[in-house]
Structure 1
Amino acid sequence: PITTIEKHHQRQKWVTKTRKRKKYIEIILELIHNPGGVVCHYHITENVKMKRVKDDFAAKMEESVRLCRFLSDGKRIEDNDTAIALALEEGDWIEVYETMESG
């Protein structure tokens, strides 16, 4: 028979195995071609879609997300990209350029 101490030990093992901490990384966004070079810090999980970050950043800057180009290592960031897909690490920079709208 299993004693209460062993049962508790087994239950504790099970709990620690099933708990999984989400890994958060800090991504720094820098708005280029803006007086003062606005910088925003984001703490996101590795699997967050960049659309959420882009939309939030554009809202903070009171800009349309259509008028912003987001680049990581010179490559354009798509809405469905994640930090994992872009190989972003803690402290990486994403550059944001404002584009001109022609009409």
Structure 2
Amino acid sequence: MSDNERTSEHNNATTSGGAENEDEFIKLRVMGQASNEVHFKVKKSTTMAKLKKTYADRMGVNSASLRFLFDGKRIENTDTPKSLEMDQDDVIEVYTEQVGGTC
């Protein structure tokens, strides 16, 4: 694993009932603007708010200053890999939120 590939250890949200198996987890790649890539292994039920916060903390920025996209659509905090129908090794794109402009 290279220096810019990391696995998140604290994205282990709990699910109700039942035994866990490897099918409940998904590996995702988060790609920043500078082509830096961070790998996460999360439960399919983990909210994207948790992934966003972990990524932002690692990058040393506020998660509110970032915009996360999957398949060209903005990811909401309440979304999960399951609700977004994500597959193994899918890529989430991250951009710095730009505020302002002229009218």
Shorter-chain TM-score: what band? Answer: 0.7 to 0.9
Deviation digits for residues 49-98 of structure 1 (CA, Å, limit 9, x no counterpart): 00000000001011111110000000000000000111111010000001
Query: What CA RMSD, in Å, does the superposition of the two structures yield over aligned residues?
Result: 1.5
Alignment partner, residue 76 of structure 2 = 78
Alignment partner, residue 6 of structure 2 = none
Alignment partner, residue 25 of structure 2 = 24
TM-aligned CA deviation for residue 20 of structure 1:
4.3
Q: Which runs of 4+ in 1 moved over 3 A?
A: none
What fraction of aligned residue pairs are identical, expressed as a percent?
28
Q: Name the TM-score, length of structure 1 as normaliser.
A: 0.73
Residues 12-91 of structure 1: pairs in structure 2 closer than 5 A: 19-21=19-21, 23-32=24-33, 34=34, 37-91=35-89
Which has a greater percent of helix? 1
Specify the SS of the correspondent of 2:32: strand
User: Number of residues paired by the alignment?
Assistant: 82
Separation in 2, partners of 1:19, 1:67? 37
Query: For structure 2, which runs of at least 5 residues remain unmatched after alignment?
Result: 1-17
When structure 1 is superposed on structure 2, of 90-99 and 20-29 the one drifting more is 20-29
Separation in 2, partners of 1:25, 1:91? 8
Separation in 2, partners of 1:63, 1:19? 36
Query: For structure 1, which runs of at least 5 residues remain unmatched after alignment?
Result: 1-17
Q: Name the TM-score, length of structure 2 as normaliser.
A: 0.73
Equivalent residues of 1:29, 1:95 under 8 A apart: yes
- Rg: which structure is higher? 1
Equivalent residues of 1:67, 1:101 under 8 A apart: no
